[in-house]
Structure 1
Amino acid sequence: MSKLRVNAFTLSLDGYGAGPDQKLETPLGVGGENLHKWMIGTRTFRQMVIGKDGGTTDTDDSFAVRSFENVGAWILGRNMFGPIRGEWPDDNWKGWWGDNPPYHVPVFVLTHHKRAPIVMEGGTTFYFVTDGIHSALERAKAAAGGKDVRVGGGVSTIRQYLQEKLIDEMHLAISPVLLGSGEHLFAGLDMLKLGYRCTSQVATADATHVMIGRA
């Protein structure tokens, strides 16, 4: 049965998934790039995101590998797709990742502003969904063909799916970094009342990997 998953989503010790002042120069917000030390040295990240060989094959990499397994479609918030706000000024911006993004499956981007689909290299097509999270999930599940749908973020998008009790399982990497402000994942959410529990945790030098599932 197809699941709605969050994988390899990194939080600071104080619960922020991105720092303040996200923009083109600081896409993860001020200090946000420090969250992802656990991932950027892994073989999976180097191969799938930056197209290079090498990298670690340790516990951190095993979580990165699992994050791509059995994924048939993605859902992204608009901030994860790019820094542009409001109406699309033109069709020039096609994401942060160049001509061959690391998704290789259909990706559904939540936005309030219509835009035609963008076909990229490697099997990625970006579809822009203007009628909410339920419509995006319905379309993503249809496109996934029985495989899982991965919610890539950002914080606001994950929170919306959590509030509707739609996420089946979530892997969070808690980085030993304090951001102080930014986008907080759990503020105002009662995860216990929503039916979620921690099912396992594994610590490495650069992160504590926490699995959360439905009770």
Structure 2
Amino acid sequence: MIIVSAFLRWLTPYKYVDEVIERKPKKQKHKQQKLTAEEMLEHGMLGVRVVEVGEKFDAQSATERLLGSEVDIVYFYHDKQTHQVAVSFDPKSAWKYQARSNSKRKNLKPMLYPEGKTSYDRTHIIPIGFHGTESDNRLLVGWNSRQNRVDINRFERKVREYNKNHKILWFADIAKEPDGSATWKAIVMDETGTVRMKHTWHDRSKFVWQ
């Protein structure tokens, strides 16, 4: 019809001198600007919430706290001998939380780290859910580079694989040993509190413990 009408106007234009053609204005689509994960970090739009607790956890009390807690809340405890975090994550959090703000992380000094000239990695105590935690020295430690990149990384991959389809409860317990070294115990539970994975690493360096 549109083609025929246009042809008739060309053929007999005098018939359409007084015709008013109304054109509906096109609705302008406002494109919502999407921020990158890094930009969202810089604006404080993503992140876990850290809550400091006044008493040291054991595995049972940490489990009980997490079973009654919302996800993405990190419970933190620290004293001269102990450094602990406990947190729960929904399924697929390992893929939800992938960005880091290196601008915030690069000058961070952990609360505990090997002393002297011993090389170490700034290591996330919790490998997933780390949005907004790069500038929080409560959630990172200085740790043996090889253990972090090989042994701990291998364990974390297993946890991320399990987290694809399951909620997890994560408890990390780092203790200063009498000889000045440190042990790191990681326990991963399912939503019922049943232990699914656990591991212990020993960094034999002498530690600075703030």
Normalised by the length of structure 2, the TM-score is: 0.26
Normalised by the length of structure 1, the TM-score is: 0.26
Q: In terms of Rg, which structure is larger?
A: 2
